[in-house]
Amino acid sequence: MSFLGFGRPQPTSAEKIAAIENELKVVAEMHSRMIKVCTSKCIDKTYREGELSKGEAVCLDRCSAKFFEAHQTISEQLQREGAQRGFGM
């Protein structure tokens, strides 16, 4: 409860745990999508070698960096919009 009943009430432990579990789910889904997209874009389907080629490794590095940057930008924008509407935590 907030001081003198003013402001937002503090989240309960169960709400905090639910928020953390939701965040982990979002990160896991983002990771799965990134692996799927970057693998299909960067790795040759014929699998000619047992190791990644230098070009494949560079492609995967750049793809994952761009994917993460885009995800972070979108997340920040959604948080700003949520805070403006009063849904921020």
In this prediction the pTM is 0.67
pLDDT of residue 2: 46
What would the pLDDT profile of 30-84 be if each residue is shown by its tens digit? 899 999 999 999 998 887 888 999 999 999 999 999 999 998 999 899 889 888 8
Residue 4: both structure tokens together: 């003198």
Write down the number of H helices and E strands in the chain: 2, 0
**16: pLDDT strictly greater than 90:** no
How far apart are the C-alpha atoms of 74 and 77, rounded to whole Å? Answer: 5
Judge whether 63 and 35 are in contact, CB under 8 Å. Answer: no
Please determine, for residue 1, whether its predicted confidence score (pLDDT) is greater than 50: no
